Chain A
Amino acid sequence: MEKKSGQFSGGRTYRNEEITVYWKPTACVHASYCYRELIEVFDPGRRPWVDMKAAPVERIIEVVDMCPTEALSWKWNDEAKNRGVGPEHTNHVKFRRPELMGPGAEDETERPVSVKVLIDGPVLIKGNFSMKYGGNEKNITEGVISLCRCGKSDKMPFCDGRHHKTGFNG
């Protein structure tokens, strides 16, 4: 029988008959879309925490695409189907594998920066921006950062997930 979970450099994989989901824990910024939207599949309190049979494939894809970082990404097991995947699927592995991209891919560095204020959570910044903090200024291209809005993080200015425990409302 085929294995349902496995490993890749930087994380684990979970698969069902149709798709494989990649989990890269170091990229997680605690935006919490996965388990807020689909606890049946993504349950941090369970081992393994991903159950690929607990929801229809379309729904799993939809929730993986919500992940604002590359902590979660997905691909079809049928490699030919991966080439036709469009940009609406932000977390398809294609966008991290140039060989699967067609010609004329858009230059992301010209797009407006995305600033997402999450419900009772951090602010996520994605795109090409500069950041000034404590006398340091850095330019970040194609970066994603998650900044604390509750004032309680131990990893300031970044979010460390504390807002869940402190009951931040904002």
Chain B
Amino acid sequence: MAGTTKPVLMVNNQVMEDNKEKDPQAKLELTDSGPMKIKGKFILNDYKREKVEMPEEVTLCMCGKSLRMPYCDDSHEK
């Protein structure tokens, strides 16, 4: 493969604006086939299990295979 293209963040076919003026309240960290980590000030509202939480950090399943939804249980590695 000739070099890797840097992924550009797109939402609804528009490149997302990058705003450095305000400090983000929460930070999302995504990987290609693994879970998403969220840290900071956020409210987690789980509609299926009818739970509302305000944890400091959470790791959400993004592969669809977890048996502990909405959290990651490392099923993506299997």
List the interface of chain A (C-beta within 8 A of B).
26-29, 109-120, 123, 125, 127-136, 138-141, 143-145, 147-152, 155-158, 168, 170
In the complex, what residues of B have CB within 8 A of residue A156's CB? 32
List the interface of chain B (C-beta within 8 A of A).
6-14, 16-33, 36, 38, 40-48, 54, 58, 60-66, 69-70, 76
**B17 & A151 in contact (Cβ 8 Å cutoff):** no
| A146–chain B nearest beta-carbon distance, Å | 8
**B60 & A140 in contact (Cβ 8 Å cutoff):** no
| A125–chain B nearest beta-carbon distance, Å | 7
A-B contact pairs, 14 of them (CB 8 A): A26-B14, A28-B12, A111-B25, A113-B24, A115-B38, A127-B25, A128-B24, A132-B30, A136-B7, A139-B18, A141-B21, A149-B60, A157-B62, A158-B10
In the complex, what residues of B have CB within 8 A of residue A125's CB? 28
Q: Report if A130-B30 is in contact (Cβ < 8 Å); known contacts: A123-B70, A136-B9, A170-B69.
A: no
**B44 & A115 in contact (Cβ 8 Å cutoff):** yes
6 nearest CB pairs, A to B: A151-B64, A113-B26, A130-B24, A113-B42, A134-B7, A151-B63
